[in-house]
Structure 1
Amino acid sequence: MPDGQRVLGGRYLLKDKVGNGGMASVYRAQDQVLDRTVAVKIMLPQYAGDATFAARFKQEAQAAAGLQSPYIVGVYDWGKDGDTYYIVMEYLRGTDLKSGVRSHGALDPKKVAQIGSQICGALSVAHKHEIIHRDIKPQNIMVLPDGNIKVMDFGIARAKNSHLTQDNNVLGTAHYVSPEQTRGQDLGATSDIYSLGVVMYECATGRVPFDGDDAISVALKQVNELPIPPSQVNPGVDPALERIILKCMEKDPANRFQTADELRQVLNAYAAGRAVDVAEPTRVIAAPMGVGGAETRVMSDATQAMVRPAGTAGPGSTAAGPRVAASASSRGQNSYDEPKKGNGAKIAAIVIGAIVVIAAAVFFASNLFGGSGEMVIVPNVIDYTQEEAEDALENAGFNVEYGKAVNDDEVEEGRVVDQTPDGNKEAPEGSTVTLTLSKGPVPVKETEVPNITGKTADEAEALLTAANLKGQAHEESNEAEAGTVFKQGKNTGEVVEEGTVIEYWVSTGPDTIDVPNLTGKTKEQAIEALGDKLSYTFSSDYSATVPAGSVISYEPGGSVKPGTTIKIVLSQGPEPVAKVNAPNFVNDSASHAKPQLESLGFKVVVNGPADGIIVSQSASGSLDKGTTITLTTQARTDANTED
């Protein structure tokens, strides 16, 4: 049976294929019980035939169906039909994040943070249910028309990885797996956070951090190599976002963000323009020969903060230090490789040079800030009024200056929304603390809802975007032309805040029902065949070929709308023959009798002269209509003529 006519589980009518993946094909389908459009993912035969996969698939699909989040694609149902396993999911309009990055290239840093925050929202719900996704990648993230995202395939990756094949499926998608997943170790929440870091890296730069000729080589790079800092691939990536991404991608899970909620708070702060306190990522360099053998040493956060990639060096830094750091990163150097022989003296010189630069910088900072140089704790003045903040800082021995005020939805106008250096950290007494004051929430702007009824979905989105509104599309069957909007959630001309989500409903066209063949069925059989979605009326007629009580004909046939009335004609059997009185025309002329008898419905045969006198008549009286009557005649005589 063609896919377009196939019904899974006696309920889900497959319409058309909308996508293919490494383990399944996805179809748009109609849930015939709840009368709604759904997406049905049908597992490929090599998975369906594996007993281990089947058992884990059942367990994981049930768990995924229990996850409820605005950022998770809803799983409605799952089952097995014959040899086919399938999952029924929420049907969405949109595109996957991988396709979006391919089309548009690197995304705006704030958009990267927004996407990352929403993925964290999905992961937070799953992790609290003790479900690790295991396959976070852009292909599993759907971008909706309103710009929000939904994460797909929760729990399915674990079932997939139970099916070990020779094509490295056990590795998952190598470009996004964590080092511990590559090693086959137990996975926790931090494994998904590593994969999310890779996704944000790709969104921010337009490319994955590690690539290779095959899955094995890419996976080994995940374990052994440090990523090139995103800002060296795309200079538009600022240091704060870079630190967030690289902290997610730390090789040691203990050095990453430990929970999705923790990462989400940092991303939300970054997206809102607030300062984020994320340490510089760990940098591992090989020890020079003769200095501690072949062990590795980790440069401290403070040291690393002084050695930034080329082009970002601050005042007072030398060119040599940054160039060295950039060069090592750009080569993709294996952080665990031992240095080549003969390079020990060079590396030692570089390390000593870096120490001299750091010492000089500290000395310069001490003299620049003035004062005694004694380190004191900076008061935390976030949410203080301007006057309260100045009093607290000046009493602690600090000077105060102000940066540009910013809008903030959470901090009241005139209060401190950010400070540098941060509160509760040490700084030289007499140094300057820079404060940022809140201008309060961004002023609310209002706009009118446009008329999008009758428009296509693309036209509706364009009109809503022009009005600074967001659209949320739903699909339903309707009398309106397929693909056009037939209803909108807010009335045309209604005044709403800019950014408001306007729901609208797009027609998939009217649903139709195929009228079954009723010819020859009894009345009871015809009623049963029509079911409860079609109406019917009955009439009757004679038929010489259809038995009495059976259907002669019906209309309309073919595909009709639900509720259509089918007009059915039942047979009364053959039409009964009528009795007619045939007069006796003996002694009358045949030319007179023949037309009289024929007008009464009889067939007349004249045996003799056509204008002769009738001497005998084969039948008369009450006869069946259509009976043949023979008239025997003889020629007229003179006596007959006189009569």
Structure 2
Amino acid sequence: MTNAPADPMIGRLIDGRYQVRSRIARGGMATVYLATDLRLERRVAIKIMHGHLADDNTFKTRFVQEARSAARLAHPNVVNVYDQGQDADSAYLVMEYLPGITLRELLKDYQKLTPEQTTDIMDAVLAGLAAAHQSGIVHRDVKPENVLLADDGRIKLGDFGLARAASANTATGQALLGTIAYLSPELVTRGVADARSDLYAVGIMMYEMLTGEQPFVGEAPMQIAYQHANEQVPPPSAKDPSLPIEFDELVLWATARDPEDRPADARQLLERLREIEGSVRGGEPAGSTRVLERLPEGAAAPTASIAETAVLGTRSAAPAAEPEDDAARLTRTAERRTRRGTWIFALVVLLIALAGGTGWYFGAGPGAFAEVPKVTGLPANAEQQLVDAGFVVQNGERHDPKVPEGQVSGTDPAAGEQARRGGTVQLFVSLGARILPVPDAVGMTEEQARDTLSDFAVAEKPDRRFTDDVEAGNVIAVLDENGEPLGAEYPELGAITLAVSAGPIPDTWNESADSAAAILDEAGLKSAVVDEVFDNSGKVAAGAVLEWWPENDGVVRPGDTIDLRLSKGQNLVPLPDVVGKKMQDAVAELREAGFNPVYQFPDALLGIANVKSMDPAGGGDQTAVEGSDVTLVGTLDL
């Protein structure tokens, strides 16, 4: 027994950015791999078109067009499309990676789901589908395999917009059976589809989730297709009488044989699902809100007033003195004069000493003034310099946008000022710049933005960029010192740069090469012709600009180069005659010849249909524009 050959894509670097890690799944038109986006350092799912389709230009064109349509969808219930491109001969599509399982895997494990589970999943599927229908996108391949149930509880609908491209290939085997089971009657009989065809598939999927089986089964695709075209889908309660009757209404409405009797789009069906949700859940609302009341704060205790009473004492009267004679009075007066002279002398001596002490105190002692030394920018332990200068240091902290955190940001009194020796000088250690909220300046004029962002250091020279989204002269983004968009907060006086719009890149489509160069030069851009290709649309004359794009495929600034692709006109190739051949063979022959066959039959019926006529006619010397549509009219060989 030999081992299967290793997948050559494992380990390959796609487009210099996506490192392929492992294979996730393989389908009829592409293989999905787990990869790492080396630029953004995140896991992604990358769908790479099969190699045998590389020569089918029509298929590749549709793959790209539909991928771009899917990328325009931004909804929580739709798998995000990040990127699309071409690597070697294969087109690829980069999508959001969701670890988890599909609804098909869930049904295999549990056979059927509860009404509540069905409601939750269908709510998410219809919400994503409604966003697609609102954008004019028809899914065309709604089935459990394309409903993703992520490990974190998210529910998303995948493969948006790719069903049209997938119809270019004929599905066989189990893949065909899986698609046939969800085909609407109009797809089976007329090969046409719109939003109501998606809802038919939703109704079939809802029936399967509730009952555990599909409404129509058969051994061959033709048997299943015949039932879709000729029979009405039964109500789920006919299979399981315990199911809520409300689901019968939803399923029968979505799967009505006549598209006119179905909801116009997914939004209508979603609204009806949400109306019956309370009944399905036993009358309980889908969600509730609890209001937490905050208890009132207690009143502050009253402060008692204190009255103070001053008690005044009474002084007793002194006893009256005895009368004295003249001799005693003279003696007492002499003694009083002697004491007064002594006191005057002592007072003079004291005043002289006090004056000398005061002079020393304010001249050389503790009361002298000194200059506060400069310690700004020194480490936090710089207080010793202030102590040596004769000051008492009091430590403090404050924010400073210019002095790094942990260094001295200043003193009070400031450096160079006079302060009394022995006095207190406050030493401030920097806490770094204040972190300020960043005002929203996007969309403002450059002058308005500079006024709004005055708390920051705005670079004098803006970063001018070309963009279609913002008017010339207005701000596109506010960038930090590394050139990245600012967050919600930024340091005070932090360096920022304004990205300012230079207006849109001038449109040079269908202009001659010389005219395009002149237009771009006037806008401050350079140009370079990179190649010439056929333009089978017939809209661009030979020698005129068919496509243009920035050389660096990123931000475009004045002085950058715009690459130009010129038209070589239309490419006419021989058109074969396929009238009378099997539809399946005719389709293959036309594709091989470089044309796009258009027919009104599902792929499942191509093997039993014959070509009755073709437009334009082929054979002989007949030629047509390569890649153009060839309409085939056929009949069923039943």
Q: Shorter-chain TM-score: which interval?
A: 0.3 to 0.5
TM-score, normalised to structure 2, is 0.42
TM-score, normalised to structure 1, is 0.42
Larger RCO, structures 1/2 (Cα 8 Å, 6+ apart): 2
